Structure 1
Amino acid sequence: MIVVVGGPSGCGKSTVGSSLAEALNAPYVEGDALHPKENIHKMETGHPLTDEDRWGWLAKIAHHSQEEALKSKSGICVVSCSSLKKVYRDRIREEAPEETVCFVFITVDLEELKRRVSHRQHHFMKVDMVNSQIAIMEVPQTNESKCLVYHNNVDIKDCVSKIKKLMK
């Protein structure tokens, strides 16, 4: 199983993802580390990524996470990836057909996102890019398979319990 922790920059993907990985005895992959240099440069210079910029990165997320899940004793890999649009989540599912893919999507109020991102150090995503993410964000709806949506805070125990139910 691949557990993708998604949402806009500053929502807590890395924090939640590493906590979930620990609770599920699974490896954690920082999705930002899989971006090609061109994507990072684009974001560092204040240019939002296009769908075309993202396709290869999403495939890499899926393939790398699938490999990690197969190597893991738990059979699970947790990965952070914004997965802001349904087509991005669908692409990850398509690229990892042998794995069950579950999404934990976190939303946070815009001002709080901006506050968090503005306090980051040594990260390529700058505060002026948050609006571009919110503009394209499609929060998973109830009819989208294997998606858990949290607003502001993620109760890790609750989330782990729900993920385990999705594994059955």
Structure 2
Amino acid sequence: MDTANSKGRDNDRRETESERADRRWAELIQEVRVAQTGVQILFGFLLTVVFTPRFAELNDTDRTIYVVTVILGSTATGALIGPVSFHRIVAGRRIKPHAVVWASRLTLAGLILLLGTLTAALLLVLRVATDNTVVPWLVAGVVGWYLLCWFVLPAWARYKHTSVD
């Protein structure tokens, strides 16, 4: 929790520490719901690939990319479901502000793992679909887009609109 930058803004809301933790928890869980759904659908599809006839035709490199993709998808799923489990285990212990911090960290880790999953999945699909030398460049462009949308623009907005007290 970024107490130095958030105290002034949160105090403007006239919230108690408990109210602030409740609000942050509700916001975080809503954000996690969006990411969880996407990663779980993607992971489900990834699990079925190995059972298709085409899988046997993949070369060693593509099989390795597939295995890495499944592992990344599995770890992303774990990290994005983690906040729910975390909350359930610590509920009633009066440590919600700390739980929010840890759940936020798990969510960020899940988003980074999701980025890896999407990158590896896109690489595999484009390699199999096109067998073209521009695939790494296409994947790099999409990853750049993800980085811009998920991390660069939010970081820029945070920097640009954070008042220094």
TM range (shorter): under 0.3
From the two aligned structures, give the one with the greater helix fraction. Answer: 2
From the two aligned structures, give the one with the greater strand fraction. Answer: 1
TM-score between the two structures when normalised by the length of structure 2? 0.26
More relative contact order, 1 or 2 (CA 8 Å, 6+ apart): 1
